[in-house]
Structure 1
Amino acid sequence: MEKIKQQKLLLASVLGLIGFTINLFPLPLFANIQLVLGNASYVISAILFGPWYALYTASIAITGLFISWGSPHVYLIFSIEALCLGLARRKEFYSLYSSIAFWIAIGMPLFYLYATFYSNLPDSHLPFIILKQAINGVLYTAIGSFLVILTPSYWLFQPKGKGLRRQTFSAQLTYVFTLVITLALLLAALLFNNQFIKRQQDLLSQNINESALHISNLAQAYIDTHSLALNSAASWLSLNKRDAEQQQIALSNLHQHYPGFITMLIANETGKIQEASPVSLFIETDNLKNLDVSDRDYFIEAFINQNPYISPVFLGRGFGKDPIVAISVPLYAPGNTYQPIGIIEGSLDLNRFKEIDRTNKLFRDQYIVIADQQNRIIFSSPELAIQPLSDFNYSEDNALDSTLLPTMNIHDKANTAPEYVYAANELDTGWTLYVLNPFRPLVVLVEKMYLATFAILALSLIVTFIITRIISARLTRPLERIANKFSTSIANDNNDYGIDDDSPKEIYSLYTRLKQSKSQLIGYQLALEEKVALRTFELEQANQQLKSLAEKDPLTGLFNRRYAEEQFPLVQENCQRSDDVIAIAILDLDKFKRVNDTYGHLSGDLTLKAVARLLEDDFQRDGDIIVRFGGEEFLVIMPHCNTLKIESHLENFKQRLAKIVIENPDNNASFTVTTSIGAVIGNGTYNDALEDWIKQADFNLYQAKNNGRNKLVFTTLQET
């Protein structure tokens, strides 16, 4: 027994370690939803060993899940599940049915309470996540149960003993069919859903990357067009020297041809603004020529470094106060391309990106974010509510490690549920363009698909269970009828056994063999019954003889002391109930040793037999018990006797015995014997121990011997 316990503990530990290893790497299904398979280890332990070993295995396996998820709720829910499965198995309930009942009655409500009060899961996800967890539980229970069925070496550990409820063959067949079909349907559903999700994610990835590429090209073309226009304008202005009025006219004409610039300006070598467009803004702006842009990056890069420059986003001042992206190019004096005399700058109209965003939304539910080299917002879709010039901060979610889709959270960065799927492209300017697709529609699609699949699965399981039960009953009914009929009757036709043309060949073969065997068994049974009856009769006879030998004296044929001790409690109880008396007499033959010494032992035996015959003649009532008490002593128990006559009756017996002549034919000897008698009489309530009665009678016998033998001493017992 101790060795079996050690084997169970070892196997439970091994199962726990296997479950621990598998649970370290749960299979990702979608987003933050994962498939747990390592819990099948404690299902196996529950089936084979019961609740406490299952709890031990679960405590090891669940630790792997805790390390992976970092959530303590796994210890509560899955430990309770392990105990419930073990207790259900002890009650002979099938594990798959027990798992379904557990998740409906306990598991899903517990998980809902945990998710509501102790997690940050969004309410919209809860129904799906809870249902998924229940389906997951049924799946790994089915896997564990199936592994036990497929592994005969495990069967040695399954519970055995008295009082276990034996399942019918129909119930076992129904369960196995249901288990196999459940496992097949669940795996098929998960595989189908996984392929569906992968296809949807591939389509989404293709869609969002195409959008990112297209919008990036539009944005880059918009920037390149205006950069080229400004470069051309700078080259044209550098060919001829013009006065201020001519410069203003040229700048205004250029601005009219490129309305993508909000404003345009020309600054001299000191950074002072000389001309600006639109002219109306130039006139309305006080002291515009006093504005100094020498500290602006677009002046420094274009004038000092003599490079065309596209700036990061910044806040305008004086001449326009909107978020600005500036494009600047150096200006040179005619004939001198080495020494700049100023810059020409244009501030891009960022609303152009709004038009691109609006056009894209006509076809796709997507948002745009454009960030500059310093990761500050140049433009974002209004729905995102992100202010320009703010830093673009987001958290990346790695829930989709099984796919190539990157996700991000902008508004609720701590939430594990992704907000957006995104694609990012870097422009030639160093800007980054993000195209964001809301993640929720994909989640809703997947949830609806899973819920529909689970609903179809549940309906399929119910239909499967009903059909399987009908089929199993159809297959096993002939066997049940054969068993019942062969146990209750001798001959019946095929229909009585449920055997027909549709019955399986094996069952029909079993029926014919059983029918032949039954005829033979009936013949054997009759012969055996006859032998048993004869042996029983002989045994009863032998028992009677043994009982007689055990209770009677072989020489005199009287009962022995053992018989008297066995019967006295019944006699005493009977007299006690009827408030009647009992008389007990001990007879001892006087000088019996001299008879043996003088006339031989045969004469002694003849004497004992003669005394026995005389006792049987004188004490003939049904209740009287005559016993050879030992040697030459005899005991007579007389219940319900007449108190007034018993003494004279014993006296008469003593006298009759003294007159009998005993003859020994072997030596022609003849002689007489006498007896001394000690007798007592008392109420049945006196004592229930025969020894106490005999003790008083033996005392009277002693008195009779001392008074000269051949005497009767008779006394009445007094209750104390």
Structure 2
Amino acid sequence: MTAVPTSTPPGNAQPNQFHPIAVAMVLGLIGALINCFPFPFLPEVELIFGNTMIIVAAMCLKPQWALLTALLTATPLYFTWGHPFAFLTFGLEALTISYLRTKGFYVLFANIGYWCLIGMPLTGFLVWLNLEQGTVYWLFIALKQGFNAALYTTMGCLLGFLLSDQLNANWSQQPPLKKKLRHQLNYAIVLVTTLGLSATTLFISRDLILGAQEVVETTLEDRSRKFAEIIDISMKNQQSAIALAANWLSAIPANQWQQSLEQVHQSYTGFLTMLVTDHNANIIHASPSKLLLVDAKLNVADRDYFQQAMLTQSLYISPVFKGRGFGNDTIVAISTPIFDSAAPNQPKGIVEGSVDLSFIGKVTDAKLGSEAIKVVVTDQHDNIIYAHPSFNLEPLYLFDTERVVDTSIQDRLIIESLPDKQFAYAMTTATMNWKIYTLIDYDVTVKEIEREYLVIFFALIFTLLLTTVLAHRIGNRITRPLRFIIKQVNKYDNKTITEFAPLYQVAATEIDQLYNELKSDKRSVKEYQQQLEFKVQERTKELNEANQKLKARANIDSLTKVYNRHFLDSRFEQIQKAAQRSGDNLSVVMLDLDHFKRLNDTYGHITGDNVLVAVAEVISRAFSRETDLVARFGGEEFVIVAPYISPEALTRKLESLRSAIAALQLSDSSGRAITTSASFGAVIAKASFADNIVCWIKVADACLYQAKGNGRNRVVLDDQTASEQMVAEAEL
């Protein structure tokens, strides 16, 4: 929606009390201070409210100053986010909406359009192109920025709406917007509705998203804890089996150990293999029995499960390792010493069982099924016991991860084999110091948030469109009686109708009262119309007399009191013809004050006007002959027409005038001294050189341009008389 920008009439204009640079810097510093403390709204979502100052700046300042505010406001975000994208997106935002504001657009609608068409696509592209994990999170971050922009834009617009009188009166550079009443009502309704809906919808979605996050966290913790319990129960059963086997073997003759070992193994199928050694670590029995060859002499003296069991004379659980004698499976050994009943403190060997770790994968498959949760189990040294196949992690390798700490949500892990992914996780330690990790790809969580944001985004867009339509209908309903009144008044004034039609019955009481008073006033005006027409005739006669007097002043510049350009154009032909008849010289001089714009900008236009008046007086004194003509050509430029003068005399007079202008002692209202100077471009020739002043002005202007190019405050004269004399002599 657009409106026509209007400027304040010169008579009612109020000077700005603040310089725009100062205003832009103050707003930018306030915005930067607010952005130093972003509001933690959602996991990985911090709302920034300092950008409200960008909206205020765009509503009141020109684009370049709004850009300055945006750059200052975005500075803390560079250090918080670690990348310079905020300077680009928010700087472009400030330029766009400030420019559209100068064209009559509402800032609210301009910024919504910016973020839908430029801001969110640009943010998503920059994230996707430059940030780590950007290909995953680009949509999430783009939507987050869009919602944040909707919130701070409505806040800034509401602030500007409430403080519009103060902003426009004190330091607004933007023209006031002349809008129809129904458009103003439409804007107010949409603004308040958008703010309320944005805040309400965001806070409701916050609870939904946090609830979903909490469900993920709870599920991961529950699965990790249950897997730890299952592993604990399984390992305790295996430990009980080894302890039972040791007690049994200690109580029976050695010739029954093989049979007993096989019976234990059949009862506890969680072992891949079981073995018995003597006190020298030689394997003397094994289950299955086929693993022990008759001629093989296997020794496990170098294995820690033999050393620790014999040394501590207690049950021992080894770290994960790769088997050697009975296969190369990844196993965990549980061992305990076998004692002789006659010598209870002297172990005569050990019994060992190699735990079948494949049960962990079977348990995870059975418990999780098609769930997205994955499991990793490590021993007390963080060596991998089991890892989900999708991780491509080999057993026995160190579980190398990088922990991502975030204060707003649970911590995440980056696995070395999958550096481009992050995983939400929970970890539980089993009784034997094994660690059970349950992990879920963080992309799943992000996709959930993106879906929530997309639903909210389209809901807000739909609500905004619906609100705009309803607000438009409400505005039309309210302003319809006013439009009817305007049409009736126009018809009555144009004498199309002689009586007013009745107003709508649904019109408000105040409007009905206004209509009745207006009808009464119009009838009274009509009664006095004839009297006014008579008075107008009398006034017309008086005005004609006054106009005659004004014509005498029409040839004088109102500020400098020298002739104006109109008089110069009309008078020049007479001067030129008179000089041409007598065969005399004619000179035309253009004078331009040096750096006059800078003087105006520094000291103000009132002081600049005073300088022009003073210079005009000096010129008039220097060229005071009756045949001389001094005129203000425009702005700070003057034209001098001087006939009947020699080149030498003209040069002396111009140099004297240049020095007099440079010596002027002027000051502004505060007493500051002001100096000025002028550059001169002059042409002197026989009057027959040209009968059109434009030709003379072109030559003088070229000389003036040369004088300025040579450093200003100088006279450049084009003497055409010498060349004319040479031509005459040549003809003779």
TM-score relative to the length of structure 1: 0.69
- The answer to whether 1:371 aligns with 2:384 is no
Q: Structure 2: how far apart are the matches of 1:456 and 1:113?
A: 24
**Tell me, what secondary structure is at the counterpart of 2:292?**
helix
Paired position in structure 1 for 2:519: 515
Q: Structure 2: how far apart are the matches of 1:534 and 1:2?
A: 38
Paired position in structure 2 for 1:434: 437
Paired position in structure 1 for 2:319: 312
Paired position in structure 2 for 1:103: 115
**Tell me, what secondary structure is at the counterpart of 1:433?**
strand
Identity, % of aligned positions = 32
- The answer to whether 1:280 aligns with 2:290 is yes
Of 407, 413, 419, the residue aligned with 1:408 is 413
Cα deviation, 1:642-699, whole Å, max 9, x if unaligned, reads xxxxxxxxxxxxxxxxxxxxxxxxxxxxxxxxxxxxxxxxxxxxx9xxxxxxxxxxxx
Paired position in structure 2 for 1:468: 471
Paired position in structure 1 for 2:506: 502
Q: CA deviation at 1:462?
A: 1.7
Paired position in structure 1 for 2:339: 332
Cα deviation, 1:365-405, whole Å, max 9, x if unaligned, reads 32111101111100112233221111112223345x333x3
8 Å Cα contact 2:25-2:69 kept in structure 1: yes
Paired position in structure 2 for 1:478: 481
8 Å Cα contact 1:481-1:497 kept in structure 2: no
8 Å Cα contact 2:492-2:500 kept in structure 1: no
Q: CA deviation at 1:463?
A: 2.2
Of 131, 148, 162, the residue aligned with 1:119 is 131
Amino acid at match of 1:514: L
Higher mean Cα deviation, 487-496 or 44-53? 487-496
Any residues of structure 2 matched to 1:679-694 within 5 Å, and which?
none
Any residues of structure 2 matched to 1:23-34 within 5 Å, and which?
23-27=35-39, 32-34=44-46
Paired position in structure 1 for 2:584: none
8 Å Cα contact 1:376-1:392 kept in structure 2: yes
**Tell me, what secondary structure is at the counterpart of 2:251?**
coil
Paired position in structure 2 for 1:185: 197
Q: CA deviation at 1:459?
A: 2.0
Higher mean Cα deviation, 375-384 or 146-155? 146-155
1:305 to 1:60, Cα distance in 2 relative to 1, 3 A = same
Q: CA deviation at 1:159?
A: 3.8
Q: Structure 2: how far apart are the matches of 1:160 and 1:168?
A: 22
Paired position in structure 2 for 1:355: 362
**Tell me, what secondary structure is at the counterpart of 1:373?**
coil
Amino acid at match of 2:234: Y
Amino acid at match of 1:396: R
CA-based RMSD of the aligned residues comes to 3.6
Any residues of structure 2 matched to 1:579-594 within 5 Å, and which?
none
8 Å Cα contact 2:125-2:138 kept in structure 1: no
Q: Structure 2: how far apart are the matches of 1:133 and 1:495?
A: 59
Of 152, 156, 173, the residue aligned with 2:169 is 156
- The answer to whether 1:299 aligns with 2:306 is yes
1:159 to 1:508, Cα distance in 2 relative to 1, 3 A = farther
Q: Structure 2: how far apart are the matches of 1:464 and 1:495?
A: 39
Q: Structure 2: how far apart are the matches of 1:123 and 1:48?
A: 38
Q: CA deviation at 1:531?
A: 4.2
8 Å Cα contact 1:24-1:67 kept in structure 2: no
1:172 to 1:388, Cα distance in 2 relative to 1, 3 A = same
Of 268, 273, 284, the residue aligned with 1:258 is 268
Q: CA deviation at 1:519?
A: 4.2
Q: Structure 2: how far apart are the matches of 1:190 and 1:523?
A: 63
Any residues of structure 2 matched to 1:608-627 within 5 Å, and which?
none
1:133 to 1:226, Cα distance in 2 relative to 1, 3 A = same
Q: CA deviation at 1:440?
A: 2.9
Amino acid at match of 1:379: Y
1:60 to 1:534, Cα distance in 2 relative to 1, 3 A = same
Cα deviation, 1:171-217, whole Å, max 9, x if unaligned, reads 22212222222222222222222111111112222222221222111
8 Å Cα contact 2:18-2:170 kept in structure 1: no
8 Å Cα contact 2:129-2:135 kept in structure 1: no
1:352 to 1:542, Cα distance in 2 relative to 1, 3 A = closer
8 Å Cα contact 1:482-1:498 kept in structure 2: no
Q: CA deviation at 1:342?
A: 2.4
Any residues of structure 2 matched to 1:59-98 within 5 Å, and which?
59-98=71-110
1:393 to 1:537, Cα distance in 2 relative to 1, 3 A = same
Q: CA deviation at 1:35?
A: 3.6
**Tell me, what secondary structure is at the counterpart of 2:425?**
strand
Paired position in structure 1 for 2:62: 50
How many pairs align?
A: 547
Any residues of structure 2 matched to 1:4-23 within 5 Å, and which?
4=16, 6=18, 8-23=20-35
Q: CA deviation at 1:64?
A: 1.2
- The answer to whether 1:454 aligns with 2:460 is no
Q: CA deviation at 1:272?
A: 2.6
Q: Structure 2: how far apart are the matches of 1:406 and 1:496?
A: 76
Gaps of 5+ in 1: 551-565, 577-686, 688-720
**Tell me, what secondary structure is at the counterpart of 1:390?**
coil
**Tell me, what secondary structure is at the counterpart of 2:309?**
helix
Paired position in structure 1 for 2:187: 175
Q: Structure 2: how far apart are the matches of 1:548 and 1:106?
A: 59
**Tell me, what secondary structure is at the counterpart of 1:238?**
helix
8 Å Cα contact 1:148-1:155 kept in structure 2: no
Paired position in structure 1 for 2:151: 139
8 Å Cα contact 2:491-2:497 kept in structure 1: no
Cα deviation, 1:47-103, whole Å, max 9, x if unaligned, reads 122212211111111111111111112212211111111111122211122113323
Q: Structure 1: how far apart are the matches of 2:289 and 2:499?
A: 111
1:164 to 1:457, Cα distance in 2 relative to 1, 3 A = closer
Amino acid at match of 1:327: I
**Tell me, what secondary structure is at the counterpart of 2:394?**
coil
- Please say which structure displays the higher CA radius of gyration: 1
Paired position in structure 1 for 2:403: 396
1:526 to 1:64, Cα distance in 2 relative to 1, 3 A = farther
1:361 to 1:540, Cα distance in 2 relative to 1, 3 A = closer
Cα deviation, 1:304-347, whole Å, max 9, x if unaligned, reads 12232211111122233211111111222214433333222111
Gaps of 5+ in 2: 1-12, 554-566, 578-690, 692-732
1:515 to 1:160, Cα distance in 2 relative to 1, 3 A = farther
Q: CA deviation at 1:115?
A: 3.3
Q: CA deviation at 1:271?
A: 2.6
**Tell me, what secondary structure is at the counterpart of 1:489?**
helix
Of 434, 445, 448, the residue aligned with 2:448 is 445
**Tell me, what secondary structure is at the counterpart of 2:327?**
coil
Q: Structure 1: how far apart are the matches of 2:446 and 2:121?
A: 23
**Tell me, what secondary structure is at the counterpart of 1:283?**
coil
Q: Structure 2: how far apart are the matches of 1:333 and 1:133?
A: 76
**Tell me, what secondary structure is at the counterpart of 1:338?**
strand
8 Å Cα contact 1:365-1:437 kept in structure 2: yes
Paired position in structure 2 for 1:40: 52
**Tell me, what secondary structure is at the counterpart of 2:325?**
coil
8 Å Cα contact 1:50-1:89 kept in structure 2: no
Q: CA deviation at 1:40?
A: 1.8
Q: Structure 1: how far apart are the matches of 2:106 and 2:275?
A: 84
Q: CA deviation at 1:274?
A: 2.5
1:314 to 1:495, Cα distance in 2 relative to 1, 3 A = farther
8 Å Cα contact 1:477-1:498 kept in structure 2: no
8 Å Cα contact 1:360-1:366 kept in structure 2: no
TM-score relative to the length of structure 2: 0.68
1:496 to 1:465, Cα distance in 2 relative to 1, 3 A = farther
